[in-house]
């Protein structure tokens, strides 16, 4: 049994990770800045603390007496958030810096950092037919402004704490994680959840239009949460010293993503394209050569399968909300 900190435990991925680590017999301290009633999932078996980890003294409190740290804490969201909150995204550098310092002081044995595909050179993401981003494509550096630069800098911090102080660090570059118990409205949601919500609400309101950011031809890959959690744990306890991709290699366009969700819903909507909305790079996909080499595994839950689980969960939340507001939903007629 290990004593483990999950930073960012009130978030989407963090909540799932806490449950997985507890199920493996570990003692988990779960920390987030949000009030407990705003956490996406709360595990009663964990030691749940509300702390601002941008402050060094709070990091020392969070880490003290523990063996390992999983740092998933960051101020982030989908493209609409990170394009309009670059300073807030950059300030997250304080979290990782102070957690690393606290880990060094408290004798932590292993440290996991959740990085992002936003670290990759933008010039390698101009083609919707992106063949897949290799780990080496992060350099020469031209990361996503704000969020991507913070992630790339924090990756380097992990590397140097390993080299200079002997702290075992692991870094995974996440590619678009989605699934149940995640953000689906409010401005921080990512494309799969946003599209599910829009399609579901069209069924409730009868409005047969869906707004798509950009021209819909931009491409991405999307990793289901179960694959993500397995990858985090496998990478943490591997011998992989360099940053590594953790993402699906099943690339789709946003238009194709909308079509899959429409098919799940049994609906068809008129598409309205907002060419002025935040849309990110033209093409991004995960090259999984290294993770297959090191672990003999890669994220593999098909997009349609994961979207069905996600759609059903979001529909349940939206229908409950619409019922409580007095609206009539076609899903419970």
CA 135 to chain centroid, in Å, comes to: 18
User: Which residues lie below 8 Å from residue 289, measured CB to CB, with a gap of 6+?
Assistant: 134
Using CA atoms, how far residue 159 sits from 55, 65, 109, 113, 184, in Å, is 22, 23, 15, 11, 34
Pairing of strands 27-32, 68-71: unpaired
Q: Do residues 241 and 166 touch, judged by C-beta distance below 8 A?
A: no
Residue in the structure block whose two tokens are 């360099």: 242
- The structure tokens listed for 11 are 């978030």
- The structure tokens listed for 273 are 């394209």
- The structure tokens listed for 66 are 């523990």
Q: Is 147 annotated as catalytic?
A: yes
Q: Could you report how far apart the first and last alpha carbons of the chain are, in Å? A: 49
Q: Which residues pair with 114 in a beta bridge?
A: 172
Kindly state the DSSP code that residue 213 receives in the 8-state scheme: E
Active-site position among 40, 113, 120, 147: 147
Which of 11, 72, 21 is closest to 42 using CA atoms? 11
What is the rounded CA–CA span in Å between residue 28 and residue 19?
A: 9
> Hey, which residues are catalytic here?
147
């Amino acid at each position: 049994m290990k004593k483990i900190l999950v930073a960012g435990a009130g978030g989407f991925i963090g909540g799932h990770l806490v449950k997985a680590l507890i199920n493996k017999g570990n003692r988990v301290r779960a920390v987030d800045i949000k009030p407990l009633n705003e956490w996406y999932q709360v595990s009663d078996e964990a030691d749940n603390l509300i702390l601002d980890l941008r402050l060094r003294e709070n990091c020392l409190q969070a880490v003290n007496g523990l063996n390992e740290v999983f740092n998933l804490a960051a101020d982030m969201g989908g493209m609409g958030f990170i394009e309009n909150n670059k300073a807030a995204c950059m300030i997250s550098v304080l979290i990782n810096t102070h957690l690393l310092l606290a880990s060094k002081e408290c004798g932590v044995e292993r440290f996991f950092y959740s990085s992002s595909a936003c670290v990759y050179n933008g010039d390698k993401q101009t083609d919707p037919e992106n063949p897949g981003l290799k780990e080496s494509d992060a350099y020469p550096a031209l990361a996503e402004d704000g969020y991507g630069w913070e992630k790339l800098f924090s990756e380097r911090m992990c590397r140097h704490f390993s080299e200079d102080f002997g702290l075992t660090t692991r870094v995974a570059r996440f590619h678009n994680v989605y699934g149940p118990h995640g953000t689906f409205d409010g401005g921080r949601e990512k494309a799969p959840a946003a599209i599910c919500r829009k399609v579901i609400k069209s069924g409730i309101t009868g409005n047969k239009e869906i707004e798509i950011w950009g021209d819909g031809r931009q491409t991405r890959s999307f990793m289901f949460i179960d694959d993500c959690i397995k990858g985090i744990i496998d990478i943490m306890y591997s011998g992989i010293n360099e940053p590594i991709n953790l993402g699906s290699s099943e690339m789709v366009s946003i238009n194709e993503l909308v079509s899959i969700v429409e098919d799940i819903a049994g609906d068809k909507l008129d598409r309205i394209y907002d060419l002025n909305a935040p849309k990110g790079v033209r093409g991004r996909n995960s090259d999984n050569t290294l993770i297959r080499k090191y672990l003999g595994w890669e994220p593999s839950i098909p997009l349609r399968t994961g979207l069905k689980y996600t759609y059903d969960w979001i529909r349940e939340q939206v229908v409950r909300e619409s019922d409580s507001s007095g609206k009539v939903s076609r899903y419970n007629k």
